[in-house]
């Protein structure tokens, strides 16, 4: 398994907000019962960016034109980290893992274990080793929505993960997904399709690593895969099962023993591709490609040679040179497990000052060179980088394009060159399309080329090789800093593209030049499809002068109308002589086509919940089509609050008492709409609100300031749409509390809202009292003589199940060889121990179920007969 150290809970300002939504996993029972209306935080955990098209292949624009452009690459990887209870789409932390090499990736699959819904966080001991996590992780896990949004912007599929093993998922097992309904369909397949559609991702990576699939289940498993694909989902199967008998088998090759899970002679196509286990060699990979072709499959699209990135990192025993055929090109596709090791297994991964080392490690993994220069290219026998085998791709297409070189995180947020917020942040969902090549700089006459880096502002600690002045961003969290001694003309290729030039095409270039006046000149460097061997440079006038901050210029490209730009870059001309200590920061490039693409002013902007007692804010609005809006930015009295392509936004540390919120829609050409304006005033309201639930079904809602007039107070279940509980009352003038009676006592979430006639409504969240539990159904157990077979409880919040034989608890084995325990523990009891042999066929057998709240209920399976 890949080494992936846990991401421990963030502390201080970056600590999780009390109501900050986070992802969770699903066991098979939770999957079959899934409903978005009752799924905690689901509405705020969706990816909404649709999968974008990429440009057609064009070897002439590749750095290595000899690389075949059809070799697929899958990254099975963590996302921001490997946190148990902190998988957010965005948060206020710079030092998370922000992936930035989508151009070499075709499929991203989530490798991030998550506790199931409702697991109390106090069961988690961050200091304990992995084997001491005594709670349940779901067999079904979703990709992070921020990562899915970023993947889709780049034309990359995003997959969830289904994982069964003898240890990692307790008693959860594959056979629970293979149950058919009366029509012969798989309800689990339908739910997996519903979940993917709702959360906005594209399919599933299936990792079946239990010790055995029953031979009689293989046929159903094949049909289950076909059912997923019939729902329009992309499916990748892991090389771990012998199709002939269901035995656990790592074939390390594509053969008739595993290919029936991809294409079966009788059933047809079942999965889209397979991830080969790692212990391959040249002969196995050669045979794999041959077997794929014998089935009519393209091995570069279907057979993925696996690399254990996380375990071996840069010291790989699996040499991708072994995947090269006689012509020197890849025979099969490539997959990596745990490439996020560049961050996750770095000792100082949470230190803002050490992130430049993470960036170098990631660059080395993907390009072979930590600095992106020829000086640090790997020697023979060293890790060569993914880009040595996979050609770069691009989603820079159409007639418009904009970038502010925003990598998706920052130590502050700048808007139009001014610092809008000094808070650090991380949100890959608003990441710009990454620069295609890190870095491709050519200097004439053999001179040393300029250096390139992302500049995150004055607080950023760059690598020691840099000496540039830190300016920060023009828009977002970073700009592109180009610096060094300009000893000769330099060419910096930035984006592989497929941009149509129209009679109205214009380039808006915003840059800053803090270095002194000199004779240099900045140019747009373009390669056109009609002449792929020629670089056309279009000068930027007066660009050798030092600027006072940011300067925006417009460059007319109408003379190239009808052409297609296949490479977009910048030129740096030295002029009459070498220029020492040269620096230009590029803050924005926007290609427009002469038409007005400015989005309409957003509609429906409102405060959904203002939780002043915890300084949290939930906002919502009407979502426009992605063709018209690239993202939405929210500002509070001019300070950046957050950005997302969605119709909801969560913000923490919101301590303002009155002011104005603005919602701006941003177009794909960088244009900004007229803001939707929302005024708020908590100073004239009730102050902080609390809600206290009692076991007798009463809920007391109280607030700090006596209300000035009769005021509506609402108490609702968080999932009121399904459970139907919502009550209102009117608080008398001068009062500071009301009491609701006959409220639910099932432990579900609640929302209390106090809405004054003047001022802004204030809410509080909490939980109803929990005094209810359903007994374990006798029908879920089979007891014959001394043989007892149990089914895992389906109760949503069950914690333990104890079997008493004549008053004595029956022991259960636990995962990770942690010994027997006197009860079944959710997530940690082994599947085989659900079948028990009792001491006597005449004994009394009682099953006691206990939920997370401590409620218990007994079920007598058999009364004593002696």
Secondary structure of residue 339 in the 3-state scheme:
coil
What pLDDT is attached to residue 4?
A: 45
pLDDT band, very low/low/confident/very high, at 5 (cuts 50, 70, 90): low
pLDDT band, very low/low/confident/very high, at 720 (cuts 50, 70, 90): low
pLDDT digits (tens, 9 = 90+) for 541-585: 999 999 999 999 999 999 999 999 999 999 999 998 899 999 999
pLDDT band, very low/low/confident/very high, at 187 (cuts 50, 70, 90): very high
* Alpha helices, H only, 434-574: none
pLDDT digits (tens, 9 = 90+) for 491-519: 999 999 999 999 999 999 999 999 999 99
pLDDT band, very low/low/confident/very high, at 29 (cuts 50, 70, 90): very high
What pLDDT is attached to residue 183?
A: 97
pLDDT band, very low/low/confident/very high, at 389 (cuts 50, 70, 90): very high
Secondary structure of residue 175 in the 3-state scheme:
helix
Strands of 787-790's sheet in order across: 781-784, 787-790, 835-837
pTM reported for the whole predicted model: 0.97
Q: What letters, b where the CB count within 10 A reaches 16 and e where it falls short, cover 173-208? A: bbebbbeeeeeeebebbebbbebbebbbbbbbbbbb
Closest of 330, 306, 288 to residue 68, by C-alpha = 330
Q: What is the mean pLDDT of residues 468-487?
A: 98
pLDDT band, very low/low/confident/very high, at 723 (cuts 50, 70, 90): low
* Other CB atoms within 10 Å distance of the CB of residue 140: 26
Residue 2 pLDDT more than 60? no
What pLDDT is attached to residue 577?
A: 84
Distances (CA, A) of 774 to 190, 206, 791: 27, 33, 15
Q: What is the mean pLDDT of residues 816-829?
A: 97
As a whole number of Å, the end-to-end CA separation of the chain is 51
Residue that is written with structure tokens 């069950």 in the block = 798
Long-range contacts of 222-225 (CB under 8 A, 24+ apart): 222/260, 222/261, 222/264, 222/267, 222/270, 223/186, 223/267, 224/177, 224/178, 224/186, 224/188, 224/189, 225/261, 225/270, 225/271
pLDDT digits (tens, 9 = 90+) for 87-105: 999 999 999 999 999 999 9
pLDDT digits (tens, 9 = 90+) for 64-81: 999 999 999 999 999 998
Residue 141 pLDDT more than 60? yes
Residue 489 pLDDT more than 50? yes
Decide if 87 contacts 22 (C-beta within 8 A): yes
Residues in contact with 362: Cβ distance below 8 Å, sequence separation at least 6, in sequence order: 99, 100, 101, 342, 343
Q: What is the mean pLDDT of residues 601-614?
A: 97
pLDDT digits (tens, 9 = 90+) for 730-771: 999 999 999 999 999 999 999 999 999 988 999 999 999 999
Secondary structure of residue 73 in the 3-state scheme:
strand
Beta-bridged to residue 536, according to DSSP, are 526
In this structure, the strands spanning 676-681 and 658-666 are antiparallel
pLDDT band, very low/low/confident/very high, at 690 (cuts 50, 70, 90): very high
* Alpha helices, H only, 521-616: none
Q: What is the mean pLDDT of the chain?
A: 96
Give, as one character, the DSSP assignment of residue 770: B
Q: How far apart (Å, rounded) are the C-alpha atoms in residues 838 and 784?
A: 10
Residue 259 pLDDT more than 70? yes
Residue 289 has phi, psi (to 5 degrees) of: -65, -40
Q: What is the 3-state secondary structure (H, E, C) of 8-66?
A: CCCCHHHCCCCCCCCCCEECHHHHHCCCCCCCCCHHHCCCCCCCCCCCCCCHHHCCCCC
pLDDT digits (tens, 9 = 90+) for 308-367: 999 999 999 989 999 999 999 999 999 999 999 999 988 899 999 999 999 999 999 999
Give, as one character, the DSSP assignment of residue 549: S
Secondary structure of residue 782 in the 3-state scheme:
strand
What pLDDT is attached to residue 682?
A: 95
Residues in contact with 103: Cβ distance below 8 Å, sequence separation at least 6, in sequence order: 154, 392, 393, 394, 434, 436, 496
In this structure, the strands spanning 273-276 and 303-308 are parallel
pLDDT digits (tens, 9 = 90+) for 408-417: 999 999 999 9
Give, as one character, the DSSP assignment of residue 449: P
User: What proportion of the chain, given as a percentage, has pLDDT over 90?
Assistant: 95
Q: Which residue has the higher pLDDT, 348 or 402?
A: 402
Q: What is the mean pLDDT of residues 798-826?
A: 97
What pLDDT is attached to residue 83?
A: 85
Decide if 440 contacts 447 (C-beta within 8 A): no
């Amino acid at each position: 398994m890949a080494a992936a150290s846990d991401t421990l809970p963030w502390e201080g300002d970056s600590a999780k907000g009390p109501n900050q939504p986070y992802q969770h996993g699903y066991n098979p029972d939770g999957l079959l019962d899934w409903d978005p209306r009752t799924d905690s935080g689901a509405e705020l955990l969706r990816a909404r960016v649709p999968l974008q098209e990429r440009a057609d292949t064009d070897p002439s624009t590749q750095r290595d034109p000899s690389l075949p452009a059809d070799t697929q690459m899958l990254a099975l990887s963590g996302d921001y980290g490997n946190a148990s209870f902190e998988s957010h789409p965005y948060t206020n932390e710079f030092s998370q893992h922000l992936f930035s090499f989508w151009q070499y990736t075709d499929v991203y699959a989530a490798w991030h274990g998550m506790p199931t819904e409702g697991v109390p966080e106090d069961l988690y001991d961050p200091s304990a080793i992995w084997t001491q996590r005594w709670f349940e992780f779901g067999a079904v896990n979703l990709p992070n929505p921020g990562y899915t949004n970023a993947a889709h912007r780049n034309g990359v599929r995003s997959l969830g993960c289904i994982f069964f093993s003898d240890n990692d998922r307790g008693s959860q097992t594959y056979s629970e997904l293979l149950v058919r309904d009366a029509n012969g369909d798989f309800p689990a397949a339908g739910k997996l399709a519903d979940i993917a559609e709702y959360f906005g991702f594209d399919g599933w990576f299936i990792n079946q690593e239990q010790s055995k699939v029953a031979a009689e289940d293989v046929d159903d498993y094949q049909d289950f895969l076909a059912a997923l694909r019939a729902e329009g989902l992309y499916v990748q199967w892991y090389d771990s099962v012998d199709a002939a008998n269901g035995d656990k088998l790592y074939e390390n090759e594509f053969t008739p023993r595993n290919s029936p899970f991809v294409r079966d002679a009788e059933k047809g196509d079942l999965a889209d591709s397979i991830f080969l286990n790692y212990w391959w060699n040249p002969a196995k990979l050669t045979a794999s490609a041959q077997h794929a072709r014998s089935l009519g499959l393209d091995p570069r699209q279907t057979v993925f040679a696996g690399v254990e990135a996380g375990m071996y990192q840069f010291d790989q025993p699996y040499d991708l040179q072994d995947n090269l055929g006689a012509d020197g090109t890849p025979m099969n596709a490539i997959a990596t497990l745990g490439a996020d090791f560049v961050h996750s297994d770095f000792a100082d991964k949470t230190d803002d000052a050490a992130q430049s080392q993470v960036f170098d490690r990631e660059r080395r993994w993907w390009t072979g060179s930590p600095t992106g220069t020829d000086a640090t290219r790997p020697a023979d026998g060293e890790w060569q980088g993914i880009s040595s085998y996979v050609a770069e791709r691009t989603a820079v297409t159409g007639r418009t394009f904009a970038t502010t070189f925003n990598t998706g995180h920052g130590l502050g947020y700048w808007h139009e060159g001014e610092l809008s917020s000094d808070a650090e942040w991380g949100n890959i969902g608003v990441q710009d399309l990454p620069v295609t090549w890190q870095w491709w700089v050519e200097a004439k006459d053999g001179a040393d080329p300029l250096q390139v880096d992302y500049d995150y502002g004055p607080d950023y600690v760059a690598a020691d090789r840099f000496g540039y002045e830190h300016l920060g961003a023009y828009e977002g969290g970073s700009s592109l800093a180009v610096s060094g001694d300009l000893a000769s003309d330099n060419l910096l290729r930035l984006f592989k593209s497929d941009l149509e030039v129209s009679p109205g095409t214009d380039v808006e270039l915003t840059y800053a030049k803090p270095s002194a006046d000199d004779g240099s000149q900045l140019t747009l460097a373009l390669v056109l499809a009609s002449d792929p061997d020629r670089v056309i440079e279009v000068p930027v006038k007066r660009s050798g002068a030092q600027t006072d901050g940011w300067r925006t210029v417009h460059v007319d490209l109408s003379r190239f109308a009808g052409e297609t730009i296949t490479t977009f870059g910048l030129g740096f001309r030295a002029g009459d002589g070498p220029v020492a200590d040269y620096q230009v920061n590029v803050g924005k490039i926007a290609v427009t086509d002469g038409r007005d693409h400015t989005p309409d002013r957003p509609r429906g902007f409102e405060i959904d919940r203002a939780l002043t007692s915890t300084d949290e804010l939930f906002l919502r609005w009407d979502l426009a089509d992605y063709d018209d809006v690239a993202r939405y930015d929210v500002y509070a009295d001019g300070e950046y609050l957050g950005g997302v392509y969605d119709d909801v936004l969560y913000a923490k540390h919101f301590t303002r008492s009155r002011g104005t919120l603005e919602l701006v829609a941003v177009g794909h050409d960088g244009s900004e709409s007229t803001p939707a304006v929302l005024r708020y005033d908590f100073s004239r309201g009730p102050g902080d609100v609390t809600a206290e639930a009692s076991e007798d079904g009463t809920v007391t809602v109280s607030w700090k300031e006596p209300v000035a007039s009769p005021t509506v107070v609402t108490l609702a279940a968080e999932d009121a749409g399904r459970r139907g509980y919502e009550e209102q009352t009117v608080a008398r003038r001068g009062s500071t509390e009301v009491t609701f009676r006959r409220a639910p006592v099932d432990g579900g979430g609640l929302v209390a809202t106090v809405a004054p006639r003047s001022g802004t409504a204030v809410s509080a969240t909490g939980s109803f009292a929990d005094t209810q539990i359903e007994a374990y159904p006798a029908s879920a157990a089979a007891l014959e003589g001394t043989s007892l077979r149990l089914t895992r409880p389906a109760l949503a919040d069950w914690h333990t199940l104890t079997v008493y034989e004549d008053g004595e608890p029956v022991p259960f084995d636990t995962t990770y060889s942690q010994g027997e325990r006197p009860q079944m523990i959710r997530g940690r009891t082994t599947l085989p121990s659900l079948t028990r042999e009792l001491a006597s066929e005449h004994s009394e057998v009682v099953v006691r179920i206990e939920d997370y709240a401590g409620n218990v209920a007994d079920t007598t399976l058999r009364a004593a007969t002696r």
